[in-house]
Amino acid sequence: MKKDARLTPSQERAVEAVQHARRLVQTDTVGRKVWLEVFTDADRKRCHGDYAKACPNADVIAMWTQARRDSEYRAIVDIAVAVGLMPANRREWLLREAGEEAAIPPADKPYWDRDACKLYLGKKVIRTVRSLKVSRHIVSILDAFEFARWPTSIDDPLPKAKAEVPPSLRHTVATLNEHLTDIRFFCNGSGGVRWDFHSTTPDD
């Protein structure tokens, strides 16, 4: 947001929310959670592979911007969402109010629009998810890929809830592939999930 511009009421609320989130994310506890649970190996490598050097004085925002090359505003929002300090459904609103909307993603990687329940490849919708609640295990996979910026594979992101029978990862991946065009998801053989373009042959 431009400092000299008159803010709309919605933008003022967004600024207040991000300022509050900024205070919450700048802690060593959050920093270690981001380092161990959110960052990919590539992210940690960009921070020289050393948490103590990457996050001195619990400057989690600086660590994130170094790893992800994001603006400070976007970093605050993404950190807060990634560690559960902010509901994921507020992310797009906060970025939109700051003019931080992501550009149309390149056609070589998907983009998961959680608010719209749509998976894109470039400008093309390649999968629509029924709802965040009904399709929560599919959403968990798509959320994990989106937060990690679509690496070729991720670890199993499905929740290990004690109150229910754990979902089969293979079943969830098969369901995700229903009505999906252009790409496919696969169990990668080491307990995780990978994606590739539609020409890839199915798992053994």
**List of long-range contacts for 135-139, beta carbons under 8 Å, 24+ apart:** 137/167, 137/172, 138/172, 138/175, 138/176, 139/114
Would you give per-residue pLDDT tens digits along the chain (204 residues)?
Answer: 555 568 889 989 999 999 999 999 999 999 999 999 888 777 888 898 999 999 999 999 999 999 888 889 999 999 998 888 988 778 888 888 888 765 445 567 898 888 889 999 888 899 999 988 889 899 999 988 888 878 888 888 876 654 455 568 899 999 999 999 999 999 987 788 999 887 544 443
Q: How many CB atoms lie within 10 A of CB 128?
A: 12
Structure tokens at 140: 């968990």
CA-closest candidate to residue 113, choices 99, 125, 100:
125
Specify the pLDDT at position 35: 94
DSSP for residue 116: T
The order of strands in the sheet holding 192-197 is 153-155, 192-197, 183-187
Task: Tell me how far apart the alpha carbons of residues 39 and 21 are, in angstroms, rounded to a whole number.
Answer: 19
Task: Tell me how far apart the alpha carbons of residues 173 and 86 are, in angstroms, rounded to a whole number.
Answer: 27
Specify the pLDDT at position 204: 35
Specify the pLDDT at position 178: 95
Burial string for 20-37 (b: 16+ CB within 10 Å, else e) reads: ebbeebbeeebbebbbee
Report the DSSP pairing between strands 153-155 and 192-197.
Answer: antiparallel
